[in-house]
């Protein structure tokens, strides 16, 4: 359930719906509070909304849960950077590079933080950016609620950028609360009366002070408003980026309504306005995929990966592009290329959905290759080679020939394949590879349940493995099909005599020890010995063998006792 919520959060994040992404990540955290990736993803979402204090809180939790994960320090550094705490950002990025020295993203972010730290700061700007003030705000129940309000965070960011702007916001109770919590300044609020003991009463009234001019209320800051210190070029770029984002959102809405041509037009417009967001390409690729324009989908995915690397985009975005490319390649039946794309995606980001697609495609490719390999004429040639090698006692070569015959003529197209498995079982018997022989005999019986030779092969292998009780069971099944089969009857007699020899104490101590060790590894025997009822039955037989005979009237207990006798656990004297 937490993984499903995480996937939804990732999808909303990729679509730029950061508030929705935060909701999903929060729900996932409630179900899996020890998952560091969820805190990392929510931190990234908060940072995208410029809620840097909340992003910092999540990043700190991520690092606490997974202190050796470099990505956590990347989130921590980004949050500190957003809060103007450049020294702390540098420390976080340096710590991340200790865990992942090859990370280009961490290295680039470190350089940006160092450059920001070296730039001259406005006087007083650190007052509202100091970690102590923000920490107090994050840990106070009243202040913590403010961190989730986008308009308050924009107001705080404005004051951090230019402390002189605080006069514009002093009328807002939230700014008064910030000053009270963070700086310890008690602000008078409407309706509050001056306390009588604040100071000595004045004998002479002070001359009236001129009333201050009212500060006009600030206009609400527009979404993605450009910074006041931006150059004309930067303002133009910010405006184009905002327009591109709107075009993308319109494309997303059209996609959800399956208005694919309209969606493509919106994504094209977004790309014309701003080429620094690879999600424009990956989203257009998704539309092409729905339209079965797979070559166009692949081209957009390749372009997204190339541009994403240039921009040092989030590795998850690049992984998504590669996974989408793999899906398109599957549709074109280019399975080997699809597998390569999925593997590259997983190298960028380990994702359960992509891993499942990889395994499914690998299975499909294997089945396609096996189907293309089928040739019944060559299968018959290999069978003859196997028969010849077996007669000449060249058993390894016989095994190789029979296996090749099965590849050329598998059971799906060869009704005689069960005989090849029977022949394999015979070869493994001669080679002493008994477990492999049992598997071959089982496959033979599965394909042809009325083929008594399969039961004979399996019974012989079980006899050589000293699993006499199992051999008896196998021989009896074969005799149900062909009661007069001499081979089965002889095998059954040998197995019964072997059990009798062990049960009567005629076997050597070494043989008994070896057989018991083998039997104790049998899950069925283990289950019988752990059964409380059977434990009591065995104690009764030890203490009062004659009186314990009453237990044998129960068919279930009788069968279990016989199983232990056959396994060599119980000896009859």
- Above 60 in pLDDT, residue 214? no
pLDDT band (50, 70, 90) for residue 427: very high
Residue 495 to residue 491: CA distance in whole angstroms? 6
Residues 83, 55 share a domain:
yes
Across 182-196, average pLDDT: 48
- Residue 200 pLDDT > 90, yes or no? no
How many angstroms separate the CA atoms of 493 and 496, rounded? 5
Token pair recorded at residue 10: 């990732």
| 485 and 363 together in one domain | no
pLDDT at 169: 74
Last residue of a domain, one of 140, 161, 183: 183
Helix axis angle for 417-431 and 452-464, nearest 10°, is: 20
- Whether 310 maps to a domain, the answer reads yes
Give residue 345's region: left, alpha or beta (phi > 0; psi -120 to 50): alpha
- Output the domain CATH number for residue 519: 1.10.260.100
Distance of CA 215 to the CA centre of its chain: 55
Same domain, 34 and 127: yes
In a domain, 230, yes or no: no
Cα separation, 316 vs 410, whole angstroms:
42
Both 343 and 442 in one domain: the answer is no
Task: Evaluate whether residue 219 is within a structural domain.
Answer: no
Tell me if 104 sits within 8 A of 139, measured CB to CB: no
pLDDT at 373 > cutoff 50: yes
Averaged pLDDT for residues 560-573:
72
State both tokens at 96: 């991340």
Is residue 276 scored above 70 in pLDDT?
A: yes
- Residue 449: domain span: 375-503
Q: Say if residue 173 is in the same domain as residue 277.
A: no
Residues 53 and 159 in one domain: yes
The verdict on residue 211 lying in a domain is no
Whether residue 340 lies inside any domain: the answer is yes
- Would you say residue 224 has pLDDT above 70? no
- Does 448 map to a domain? yes
Is 296 inside a domain boundary? Answer: yes
> CB of 279 within 8 A of CB of 300?
no
Query: Does 472 share its domain with 388?
Result: yes
Hey, is 502 helix, strand or coil? helix
Among the candidates 183, 206, 233, a domain finishes at 183
Is residue 490 located within the same domain as residue 567? no
Question: How many domains are there within the chain?
Answer: 4
What does the alpha-carbon distance between residue 234 and residue 10 come to, in Å, rounded to a whole number? Answer: 30
Decide which of 355, 372, 389 is a domain's last residue: 372
Label residue 537 by pLDDT band (50, 70, 90). confident
> What pLDDT is stored for residue 573 in this prediction?
55
Give residue-wise pLDDT tens across range 7-42: 787 877 877 788 988 999 999 999 999 999 999 999
More confident site: 252 or 545 = 252
Which residue, 326, 318, 329, is CA-closest to 355?
Answer: 326
Q: 455 and 426 in contact (C-beta within 8 Å)?
A: no
pLDDT of residue 185: 58
pLDDT at position 193 is: 39
Same domain, 471 and 329: no
| Contact present, 245 and 264 (Cβ < 8 Å) | no
Residues 366 and 352 in one domain: yes
344/272 same-domain check: yes
Q: What is the mean pLDDT of the chain?
A: 83
| 233 occurs within a structural domain | no
pLDDT for the residue 121: 53
Q: Which two tokens stand for residue 22?
A: 């935060």
CATH of the domain at 479: 1.25.40.10
Residues 130 and 31 in one domain: yes
pLDDT at 203: 35
pLDDT grade for 160, boundaries at 50, 70 and 90: confident
| 351 vs 389: CA distance, rounded Å | 49
């Amino acid at each position: 359930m937490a993984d499903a919520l995480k996937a939804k959060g990732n999808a909303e994040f990729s679509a730029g719906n950061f508030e929705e992404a935060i909701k999903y990540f929060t729900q996932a955290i409630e179900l899996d509070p020890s998952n560091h990736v969820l805190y990392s993803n929510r931190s990234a979402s908060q940072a995208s909304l410029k809620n840097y204090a909340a992003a910092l809180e999540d990043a700190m939790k991520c690092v606490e849960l997974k202190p050796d994960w470099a990505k956590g320090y990347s989130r921590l550094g980004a949050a500190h950077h957003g809060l103007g705490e450049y020294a702390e950002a540098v420390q976080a990025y340096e710590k991340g590079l200790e865990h992942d020295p090859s990370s280009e993203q961490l290295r680039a972010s470190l350089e940006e933080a160092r450059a920001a730290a070296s730039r001259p700061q406005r006087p007083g700007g650190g007052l509202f950016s100091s970690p102590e003030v923000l920490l107090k705000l994050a840990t106070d129940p009243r202040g913590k609620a403010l961190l989730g309000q986008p308009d308050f965070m924009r107001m705080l960011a404005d004051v951090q950028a230019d402390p002189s702007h605080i006069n514009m916001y002093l009328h807002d109770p939230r700014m008064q609360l910030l000053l009270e919590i963070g700086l310890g300044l008690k602000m008078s609020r409407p309706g509050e009366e001056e306390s009588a003991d604040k100071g000595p009463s004045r004998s002479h009234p002070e001359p009236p002070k001129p009333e201050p001019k009212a500060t006009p209320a600030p206009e609400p800051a527009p979404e993605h408003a450009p910074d006041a210190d931006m150059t004309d070029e930067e303002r133009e770029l910010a405006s184009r980026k905002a327009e591109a984002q709107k075009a993308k959102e319109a494309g997303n809405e059209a996609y959800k309504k399956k208005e694919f041509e309209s969606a493509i037009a919106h994504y094209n417009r977004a790309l014309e306005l701003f080429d620094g967001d690879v999600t424009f390409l990956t989203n257009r690729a998704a539309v092409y995929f729905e339209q079965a324009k797979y070559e166009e989908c692949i081209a957009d995915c390749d372009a997204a990966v190339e541009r994403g690397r240039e921009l040092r985009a989030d590795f998850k975005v690049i992984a998504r592009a590669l996974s989408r490319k793999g899906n398109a390649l599957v549709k074109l039946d280019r399975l080997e290329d699809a597998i390569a794309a999925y593997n590259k995606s997983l190298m960028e980001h380990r994702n359960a959905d992509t891993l499942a697609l990889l395994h499914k495609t690998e299975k499909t490719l294997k089945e396609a290759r096996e189907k293309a390999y089928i040739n019944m004429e060559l299968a018959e040639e290999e069978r003859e080679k196997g028969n010849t090698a077996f007669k000449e006692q060249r058993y390894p070569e016989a095994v190789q020939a029979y296996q090749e015959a099965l590849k050329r003529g598998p059971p799906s197209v060869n009704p005689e394949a069960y005989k090849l498995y029977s022949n394999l079982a015979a070869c493994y018997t001669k080679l002493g590879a008994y477990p492999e022989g049992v598997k071959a005999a089982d496959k033979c019986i599965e394909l042809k349940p009325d083929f008594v030779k399969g039961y004979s092969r399996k019974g012989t292998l079980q006899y050589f493995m000293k699993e006499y009780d199992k051999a008896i069971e196998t021989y009896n099944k074969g005799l149900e099909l062909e009661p007069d089969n001499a081979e089965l009857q002889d095998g059954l007699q040998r197995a019964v005599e072997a059990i009798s020899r062990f049960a009567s104490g005629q076997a050597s101590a070494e043989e008994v020890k070896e057989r018991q060790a083998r039997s104790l590894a049998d899950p069925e025997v283990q289950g019988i010995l752990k059964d409380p009822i059977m434990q009591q039955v065995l104690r009764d037989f030890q203490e009062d063998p004659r009186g314990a005979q009453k237990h044998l009237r129960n068919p279930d207990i009788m069968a279990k006792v016989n199983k232990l006798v056959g396994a060599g656990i119980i000896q009859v004297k």
